[in-house]
Amino acid sequence: MIDNQTHHRPDLEEAAAVDSAKKGHIGRIVTFTMLGGFLAAVAFVTLPFAGAEEHVITGVVLFAFTSAWAMLAQLSTRRTDQPQRWAVVPAAVMGSSAVVVLVLAPTGNELGWIWPPAIVALVAWMVIRSRRALHSRTRMFVLYPVFASLVLAAIGGAYETYRETNDPSPSEMPGRLIDIGDHELHLSCTGVGSPIVVLEGGLGEPSTMMSSWIAPAVASTTRVCVYDRAGRGWSEPAAHAQDGVEAARDLHTLLHRAGEAGPYVLAGHSAGGIYVLNFAAAYPQDVAGVALLDSMHPQQYERMASWPGFYEMFRRASAVMPSLARLGMVRLSNETQYEGLPAPQRDQERAFLSTPRHNRSVRDEFHMIRRAMNEAATLKTLGDVPLAVVTAKLDHESDWFAMQDDLATLSTNSVHRDLPNATHEMVVGDEVTAHQASQTVLDVVRSVRTGTPVATQED
């Protein structure tokens, strides 16, 4: 007798179980691959490639997302009933872009008009394909935010390119460019008299900050020169990131070829003080006086408890900034900054500090700052050269104040002045505080002219 009841088929049950499992995997795979790509990108730029040059940072981030899209295509095809084969296209686009960036190491913004519309077109295509192939809430909650981020990046990149091309502020260059060998440096000198005062801006600062309040105040009494270190402001970049000795050589050649005769009074703010000390160590005969305006100390890494941690953090952050600047994110954050500066310098400061070019130079300078500090440490004394040390009191820790006292011992003819209501930035960026700093610079000038000690605050 034939049994007409349905018999259990293990092979059919197993196939049904696999099909059921496949239907449940797609959402997790989409989330896992996209989140994995983001986390991999963050890990790359903060761990093995921390502090790397712009093309390396951009390239490894693109490779991280290349892997994410490739994994989405592969895992969804093998493990779900909703294969996302279209994902191989963004994987190919980002992978090939990564190779081009890593090999060619572009430094300009020549493709700034090309890649943003290409990204928008790619996103539009991906939206259409994902709507057809992906039937999961992760399309709305995971993929669409990724697509939106790509579109925002494209819009930001197009805006950055437009602003770099059409912003008139950088074109209004005071002074001139002077060829010092393999690159040109910007120099602007105003006022009449001697000794000539040379102003050194802080880490990452173009000449616009020192041109705002301090240079005009000093120019009322003597001649004053501001300049841009290589890769900063209007100056061309050098062939490689420079240490303190190379920066001092650049400045010495620049002043000589410009016909600005020494010896000079050199005034440096923050890291600018490190470059002043390097110049004094290399060319002591050309130094008539020194003013250190809330200057860094050559032994800051060893003597300031918080500095090693800050150094490591900023080293990583500065490497990411050029890539973010290409997306317009740095410009967006700068739009409301530097309100305390005169209008021309404010606009120039915002324009310069927002570009990938500027942020590359900041990364390069910070990459070399420890070497520049070690080089400056070779200067043990200025003899009796007039020296003024100015210290902001509001935003520093005790180690900083001890090192400021130490800087004042570099000369037997020195004065140390505190600015009790000033922050580090206010020393050059705030009109009232910068006027106090300028008066200190002029006291050094007066000491050089008269051969008398630098005036104390009571004098």
> Where residue 3 falls among pLDDT bands split at 50, 70, 90?
very low
Q: What CA–CA distance (Å, rounded) separates 338 from 334?
A: 8
Within 291-387, residue ranges assigned H as helices are 300-303, 307-326, 329-334, 343-353, 356-376
Give yes or no for residue 446 having a pLDDT over 70: yes
For helices 54-79 and 88-104, the axis angle rounded to 10 degrees is: 160
Structure tokens at 20: 């059921």
Instruction: Check: pTM over 0.85? Answer yes or no.
Output: yes
What pLDDT score was predicted for residue 22?
52
What's the length of the chain?
A: 459
What percent of the chain stands above pLDDT 70? Answer: 94
Query: β-strand 387-392 against 287-293: which pairing, if any?
Result: parallel
Nearest to 275 by CA among 372, 170, 179, 190: 372
C-alpha dihedral, 152 to 158 to 162 to 165, nearest 10°? 130
pLDDT in tens, 10-38: 554 454 444 544 555 899 999 999 999 99
> Where residue 9 falls among pLDDT bands split at 50, 70, 90?
low
Give the other-Cβ count within 10 Å of 171's Cβ.
10
- Residue 113, classed as helix, strand or coil, is helix
Structure tokens at 209: 């900050």
pLDDT in tens, 208-229: 999 999 999 999 999 999 999 9
Give yes or no for residue 249 having a pLDDT over 70: yes
pLDDT in tens, 298-323: 999 999 999 999 999 999 999 999 99
Residue 433 · residue 426 · CB < 8 Å:
yes
> Where residue 1 falls among pLDDT bands split at 50, 70, 90?
very low
Q: Exposure of 211 by Cβ count < 10 A (0-12 exposed, 13-18 middle, 19+ buried)?
A: buried
Query: β-strand 264-269 against 197-200: which pairing, if any?
Result: parallel
Residue 197 · residue 224 · CB < 8 Å:
yes
Torsions phi, psi of 246, nearest 5? -65, -40
As beta bridge partners, residue 176 has 187
Structure tokens at 450: 């008269």
What percent of the chain stands above pLDDT 90? Answer: 87
Q: What CA–CA distance (Å, rounded) separates 406 from 302?
A: 14
How many angstroms separate the first and last alpha carbons of the chain?
A: 124
Residue 352 · residue 170 · CB < 8 Å:
yes
Q: What CA–CA distance (Å, rounded) separates 71 from 77?
A: 10
pLDDT in tens, 175-216: 999 999 989 999 999 999 999 999 999 999 999 999 999 999
Q: What average pLDDT does range 449-453 have in this prediction? A: 96
């003080």: which residue's tokens? 273
Query: β-strand 184-190 against 176-179: which pairing, if any?
Result: antiparallel
Q: What average pLDDT does range 435-443 have in this prediction? A: 97
Torsions phi, psi of 288, nearest 5? -95, -30
Task: List own/partner pairs for 127-130 with CB under 8 A and 24 or more apart.
Answer: 129/86, 130/84, 130/86
């209008």: which residue's tokens? 343
Give the other-Cβ count within 10 Å of 428's Cβ.
27
Q: What are the residues whose beta carbons fall under 8 Å from the beta carbon of 88, sequence distance 6 or more?
A: 69, 70, 73
pLDDT in tens, 63-103: 999 999 999 999 999 999 999 999 999 999 999 999 999 99
- Cα 31 to its chain centre, rounded Å, is 33
Angle, CA 351 vertex, CA 346 and CA 357 arms, to 5°: 140
Nearest to 317 by CA among 362, 355, 354, 358: 362
The CA distances from residue 222 to 359, 382, 440, in Å, are 33, 23, 14
Give yes or no for residue 386 having a pLDDT over 70: yes
